[in-house]
Every structure is written in structure tokens, then in C-alpha cells.
Amino acid sequence: KYKQAVSTFGGHAHDAVWVLVQAIRNARSTEPAAIRDSLENVKGFQGTWGEFNFSPEEHTGLTEEAFVMVKIVKGDWEMQK
């Protein structure tokens, strides 16, 4: 439709917006401190880049366990170890 290649940055923006939406909903507030505290408690958010789990110590949300390696074999996904 837009005659442009898909950008991975669109996926990053999508995840960021929806994590923020979830944090605001959970906080029931738009006050910065409430959003920050709520962001640090978002768990199990399924984003385009993996499962996000935040904490006061983990602000990226994605740990090594969030990623899996797959290979397409005969037109289907195959998990790699």
C-alpha cells in the first residue's frame, strides 16, 4: 500500500506505545511517577520482539530468555537449540 519495505523500527515503536498504554492502564494515572512505577511492573507483554518483563532493575524488558532461534524447514518454523 505504501510502497516501502517494512521497517523494524515500526515494531519497536509499536511495542513502546503498547507497553506505555498497559502501564498507564495499570497505574490508572498519567502522573510520571505512577507511570514509571507501573512500567517497572509490566510482565508478560507479548511484543514484536519477544516477551517483555520489566522490573526496577531491568528496564529493557527483554532478557536472553525472551528470544528463540527458529529456522524455516519445508515451509514451517522449526525451533533451534
- How far is Cα 11 from Cα 9, in angstroms, rounded to an integer? 5
Q: Give the model's pLDDT for residue 63.
A: 82
Give the tens place of pLDDT for each residue, 5-27: 878 888 899 999 999 999 999 99
Give the tens place of pLDDT for each residue, 26-77: 999 999 999 999 999 999 999 888 889 999 999 989 888 777 788 999 999 8
Confidence of residue 4 (pLDDT cuts 50, 70, 90): confident
- Residue 54 has a CB neighbour count (10 Å cut-off) of 19
3-state DSSP call for residue 23?
helix
